[in-house]
Amino acid sequence: MIICPECGTENPPDSERCLNCNALLTERALEEHIEEQPDHEESLDLLSQGDHDLPDLLHALKQDGELPGVEGEQEDLSSEDVVASFSLSELEEIQPDEETEEPGESPVVKPDQMPEWLQRIRQRAKEETDSIGEITQKIQAAQESLVEDKSSQRHEDYSSFLENLGETFPTNDLEAVPIKEVVKDKDHALEEDQEPDWLERIRKAEGKLGENEDAANAGNRDGDSLLQWLVALEDGTLKPPTADVEQIEESLQLEDSTQELPGYDDSSFGQAATQEIHVVEPGLQAPPLLEVSKEEQSQADQLSATIADETAVRPIHRRRRAKAPWVLRLILGVILITVLSFGLFTGAPVKSNLTTLKPHQQGLLSWAEALSPDASVLVIFDYQAGFADEITLIAQPVLDLIIKPGREIAILTSSPSGMLLADRLLNEVIGTEDIILRDLGFVPSASLIAYSLASPVTSEIFPLELEAGDFDGVLILSDTFEDAVVWIEQFSARIPSIPVNCLVTAQAGPLLAPYWESGQITGMVSGISEAHQLEAVMGESTLVAYRWRAYRFGIFMMIAMLVIGATIADEGKREDEGWGGA
Amino acid sequence: MKKVLIPMIALLVGLVTLAGYFLPTQLGPTLTIIIGAGILLMSAAGLIGIGYLLHMHIMKLVHKERGGFFSLIVLLFFLVALIAGLVLPPGSAFYRDLILGVQIPIEAALLGVLAVVLLVASLKLIRTRGWTPLSIGFLSSALLSFVFDLGLLHAEPGTLSAELLDFLRGLPWLGARGIILGMALGGLIVGLRVLFMIDRPYGEE
Amino acid sequence: MITNEMIWGAVGFLLTIMILSYLIGDNLFFRLAAHIFIGLTAGYLAVLLIRHVLIPYLVKPLIENPGQSQLWMILPVALILLLLLGQVPRLSWLGRIPLSYLAGMTAAVVIGGAVFGTLIPQVQTVFSAFDPAGWVNVSGYAWPGIINAVVMLIGVVSTLSYFHFGRKLKLTRDEDQSKRPLIFESLGKLGQIFIGITLGAVFAGVFSTALLALINRLIQMGQFLAGLLGGS
């Protein structure tokens, strides 16, 4: 097609003059040949609009009869003839490349007869070398910038997305293609300026399209793209779609890939290999579907059952532990020390009222009193330094009975501090100036030396120079049951005829009593209470009596703690913890 | 060879020692050698154990580990006691006061702390253990023992109350006999397991 | 005038305060006192073993009387050498020989003491409690002796029933918890009462001992303060 340079009318290729304005169709018009594009009409319309103004104006002038120098009837003249009559020569000057093939046919208009508007056109044409081309270039540049702006958007709008699809439809570089005219759905015969049906449905569902609103007039709205809509749906900023969304999703090929088995319903869960689970997300009425296998569902059920079991309310025994346990300990310690100090430093010594000794105490006394003047006694010091004061309180009355001038006292120790304690007890407390003292020393193992002592043969390696028959009795000073039992077992097993007596602390007394009952021990005194009785009976020392009041206060305090503890106990019976074991 | 030789030594020595209970006169000389060697061996083992203790504290100091200050204290007082004990004559009063002057206060004070801890424990006895036969027997026996300890309960000998008090006083001994019998049976089993090489406390390959 | 007693009294006072500070929790002073105790005791024990055991009974006989009469010293010397060589990592198996020697000897002594020193005498006592000759006591009544004998037997048997002496219970199921015969189970329940009674008496004895130790410490501290104030 040949475009008329004057009016922009499309003329057949073989025409020499414009059908509308009868302007000559020169080579320039041939170079402006464009392909037949419906979108081009828009830009062409823009051009043609302006170009159409001139023929209308000329037409108006023709009707008014103001066109001079135009031969022939003016009514029959085209706009081209009018223009050519006025400015054909000037046009030739403006368009020097153009050749007029028929110069003779155009009417000639004298300059003095030119209207004012034509003069202005001519003036502008003189001043601007290519006014028409400049206009075209400006329009093209504006459209190109518009295209660039659209493509720089983060979410391509529908039109640019469609423009990308329109790569198969080549466009004129100078003329932009109308956006809504680019896409052509082959399945659907879209008319000019009409959107696809599925897009129209989406927009209706989105609510951006009114009921009476025509999809063609919706235009290219900002943020109105399919991608934007899908993104908004994912973000949850979009309202839940209506029921029609399901149809839309189906059309968008979002159908579930699972196939429903015949007769399937919610009650028959577990029978199918897979199951559709509607994952409900907040804000959505139609949750997306999720495939879960039978094994996974059973595992999930087990997990939920375990969680329910773990979080179930159980009668748990909670131990109330004080945040600062040392506070109670400190308070009770201060009270105890205060009470003991009060008992120690106030009042006179308290003597025991009991004048009758217990059988095991009496047995010890009887043995001690029955010793001959030249008796030999083995005294075993087998206690730790911490119990020295208590052993001293217990042993002093008995040692006073035993250690007499002329008697031989053999000292043996199996505890590390025994030698020093024996030295302290015998030298400082009792005094051993006229006593034969045999220090047998220290032996690291009580059981081995007891076994060796009971042997009838003197040891060659460990010559203690002491045999079983060398002593008339054994006095064991011990702080624990285990240490005393070692000596008792060996002596009673190897030399049962030797009397064995024990002076032990209160903690060893209850467990050593059966040995007295069985006759393995002749006599025994254990603890301060029995020493208090012994002291009262023997009537010599007042060491225990001096401490008795404080001791009594301490015992009362312990009794009170036991009673209070039993009273405030709020724990129920506990199950037996099972069997004990040896 | 090692697996058989070493346990056989234990069995042989053990059997000879056991035989000494039945044949004291016949095995007397042998037993004195065996026992004497054992006592000397125990003393050497005790010294090796002290060496391990010192080695541990020295390594703490050398490697500048946490608690090195206390290791220095241990080593310092060890040297003081060792040097003073070897230099001073046996039976030195100063050495006796040095050792007992530290041991007696510390051990006695530790027992004092134990007394306070037992007070706190008695307050929480039933709350912790609950009302079980064991705890009821424990509580009642402790209370009764404290009452008897104070001498608050006494009766004329030969009266029914005296018999009752004696019976109550002797109740703990009934359980004590069972306990010591159980301990003796346990020791018997352990000793037999060692002799029969079932248990090997001396280590295995 | 500062006397020996005042010096050691001050030392005892200071150490007692450091140990009693444990009532407010573990602290530097308590640890310091404990480590002083450990070091001093270890040093004293080393002196004891060297001066009172090894030198008089091992070193001196070898030095003073070397000869045929001291042949039996070969055994302890060899055992001690093996024990020392056992500290070398490559020769650690040598150290097991003297340890097995000690283990065998100690086990035999324990067996002998348990059997002849406890089991036989105590069982004899239980049986002799049923001897009618021993029932009549000072008061002239026999029933206390009879009751005593019966209760003693029940107490011993029930207490022993409480123990199972390391028998491995295959507790694969809850039903296995009560696999023992019903009689032993019942006696075990009764034994708990007797054991509780005995342990209560032991608890009373332990507190009595600890209380007396605290009382004696307070006396010592009071005497020191009195001497300090009286002396100044």
Neighbours of chain B (3+ CB pairs under 8 A): A, C
User: Higher confidence at residue A11 or residue A126?
Assistant: A11
Contact flag C41-A341 (C-beta cutoff 8 Å): no
User: What's the ipTM?
Assistant: 0.91
pLDDT at position C149: 87
* Neighbors of chain C by Cβ distance (3+ pairs < 8 Å): A, B
With CB atoms and an 8 Å threshold, state whether A511 touches B180.
yes
Average pLDDT of chain A is 71
Query: Is A436 among the domain residues?
Result: yes
- Interface probe for C, chosen from A350, A421, A474, A489 (most Cβ of C below 10 Å), is A489
Q: How far is CA A82 from the centre of its chain?
A: 87
Shortest alpha-carbon distance between residue B192 and chain C (Å): 7
Domain check: are C110 and C151 in the same one? Answer: no
**Cβ pair A582:C163 closer than 8 A:** yes
Q: What is the pLDDT of residue C108?
A: 95
- List the domain range (segments joined by +) for residue A102: 2-129
- C39 pLDDT band (50/70/90 cuts)? very high
Do C134 and C117 fall into the same domain? no
Q: What are the Cα distances from residue A513, in Å, to B170, B183, C50, C202? A: 9, 15, 37, 12
Same domain, A124 and A158: no
A366 and A442 inside one domain: yes
Number of compact structural domains in chain A: 3
Shared domain check, A114 and A196 = no
A492 contacts chain C (CB < 8 A): yes
Would the pLDDT of A106 be above 50? no
Q: Which pLDDT score, from 0 to 100, does residue A178 have? A: 47
Separation in Å, CA C32 to CA A508, C17, C38, C39? 31, 12, 10, 11
Which of C66, C98, C113 lies at the terminal end of a domain, its last residue?
C66
Judgement on whether residues C225 and C151 belong to the same structural domain of the protein: yes
A185/A120 same-domain check = no
Q: Assess if residue A304 is contained within a domain.
A: no
pLDDT tier at C219, thresholds 50, 70, 90: very high
* Closest Cα in chain C to A544: C212
Q: At B33, list the tokens.
A: 């050698």
Checking if the pLDDT of C12 tops 80, the result is: yes
Residue B127 to residue A444, Cβ atoms within 8 A: no
Pair (C146, C226) in one structural domain = yes
Predicted confidence (pLDDT) per residue in B53-82, tens digit: 999 999 999 999 888 999 999 999 999 999
Residues A110 and A185 grouped into a single domain: no
Same domain? A371 vs A488: yes
- B90 interface with A at CB cutoff 8 Å: no
Q: Are C214 and A338 in contact, with CB atoms under 8 Å apart?
A: no
Distances (CA, A) of A218 to A181, A192, A224, A230, A358: 14, 14, 10, 19, 117
Domain boundary among C26, C47, C66: C66
CATH number at residue A415: 3.40.50.720
Residue-wise pLDDT for B93-109, tens only, equals 899 999 999 999 999 99
Answer yes or no: do A245 and A114 share one domain: no
Is the same domain home to A101 and A238?
A: no
Nearest by CB to residue A511, choosing from C24, C202, C213, is C202
CB C191 within 8 A of CB B135: no
Mean per-residue pLDDT, C110-134: 90
Residues 6+ apart with CB under 8 A from A543: A393, A396, A535
Question: In chain C, how many domains are there?
Answer: 3
Q: Distance, in angstroms, between B67 CA and closest chain A CA?
A: 24
In a domain, C221, yes or no: yes
CB-based contact A326 C25, cutoff 8 Å: yes
Q: pLDDT for A417-444, tens place per residue?
A: 999 999 888 876 666 567 788 888 898 9
Chain B contact present for A19, CB below 8 A: no
Locate A224 and state its tokens: 């109105």
Task: Tell me: do A111 and A188 sit in the same domain.
Answer: no
**Between chains, do B106 and C19 touch, taking CB under 8 Å as contact?**
yes
CA nearest B165 in C: which residue? C144
pLDDT computed for residue A149 by the predictor: 59
Q: Which of A251, A286, A305 is the last residue of a domain?
A: A251
Q: Which of A57-71, A419-433, C90-104 has the highest mean pLDDT?
A: C90-104
> A357 near A365, Cβ under 8 Å?
yes
Pull the structure tokens for residue B90: 């046996």
Residues of C with Cβ-Cβ distance to A390 under 8 angstroms:
209, 212-213, 216
Partner B, chain A 446-505, Cβ-Cβ below 8 Å: 448-449, 451-452, 454-462, 485, 493-494
- Arithmetic mean of pLDDT, A234-252: 53
Residues 156-195 of B with CB under 8 A from A: 157, 170, 172-173, 176-177, 179-180, 182-183, 185-186, 189
CA of A436 to nearest chain C CA: how many angstroms apart?
20
> Does A125 fall in a domain?
yes
Domain extent at residue C114: 74-122
**pLDDT surpasses 80 at A86:** no
Pairwise CB contact (< 8 Å): B43 & C138 = no
For residue A67, is it within any domain?
yes
Give a yes or no: residue A579 inside a domain: no
State yes or no: pLDDT of C143 exceeds 70: yes
State whether C109 and C183 are in the same domain: no
Q: Report the mean per-residue pLDDT for chain C.
A: 86
pLDDT bin (cut points 50, 70, 90) of residue A91 is very low
Instruction: With beta carbons less than 8 A apart as the criterion, state whether B86 and C47 touch.
Output: yes
- pLDDT tens digits, A12-44: 888 888 888 888 886 654 555 555 444 444 444
pLDDT of residue A508: 93
Predicted pLDDT at C232: 52
Q: According to the 3-state scheme, what is the secondary structure of chain B?
A: CHHHHHHHHHHHHHHHHHHHHHCCCCCHHHHHHHHHHHHHHHHHHHHHHHHHHHHHHHHHHHCCCCCHHHHHHHHHHHHHHHHHHHHCCCCCHHHHHHHHHHHHHHHHHHHHHHHHHHHHHHHCHHHHHCCCHHHHHHHHHHHHHHHHHCCCCCCCCCCHHHHHHHHHHHHHHHHHHHHHHHHHHHHHHHHHHHHCCCCCCCCCC
- Average pLDDT of chain B is 90
Alpha carbon of B153: minimum distance to chain A alpha carbons (Å): 10
* In a shared domain, residues A364 and A490: yes
The size of the B-C interface in CB pairs under 8 A is 398
The pLDDT value recorded for residue C133 is: 79
Is the residue at C172 inside a domain? no
**A561, part of any domain:** no
Q: Are residues A382 and A479 in the same domain?
A: yes
Q: Could C159 and B178 be called an inter-chain contact, meaning their C-beta atoms sit closer than 8 Å? A: yes
Q: Nearest CA of chain C to the CA of B68: how many Å?
A: 11
For residue C58, is pLDDT > 70? yes
On whether both C200 and C151 belong to a single domain, the answer is yes
* CA distance, residue B46 to nearest chain C CA (Å): 8
Q: What average pLDDT does this structure show over A531-535?
A: 89
Q: What is the pLDDT of residues A511-524, one digit of tens each?
A: 999 999 999 999 99
Residue where a domain stops, chosen among C35, C66, C97: C66
Domain finish residue from A213, A234, A251? A251
Pair C97, C137 in one domain: no
Q: Using 50, 70 and 90 to split pLDDT, how confident is the model at A537?
A: confident
pLDDT over threshold 80, residue C171? no
Instruction: Output the pLDDT for position A28.
Output: 53
Percent over 90 (pLDDT), chain C:
53
Q: Of A251, A281, A302, which closes a domain?
A: A251
Q: Look at residue A281 in the predicted model and tell me its pLDDT.
A: 58
Most confidently predicted of A378-392, A541-555, B187-201, C177-191:
A378-392
In a domain, A433, yes or no: yes
Instruction: Name the range with the highest mean pLDDT among A111-125, C59-73, C211-225.
Output: C211-225
Mean pLDDT value of segment A60-73:
48
What confidence tier does B152 reach under pLDDT thresholds 50, 70, 90? confident
Residues of B with Cβ-Cβ distance to A562 under 8 angstroms: 122, 125, 139, 142-143
> Does residue A301 belong to any structural domain of this protein?
no
pLDDT band at C174 (very low <50, low <70, confident <90, very high): low
Q: How many beta-carbon pairs under 8 angstroms link A with B?
A: 199
From A247-261, A346-360, A512-526, the region with the lowest mean pLDDT: A247-261
Residues A197 and A92 both lie in one domain? no
In 3-state terms, what secondary structure has residue A312?
coil
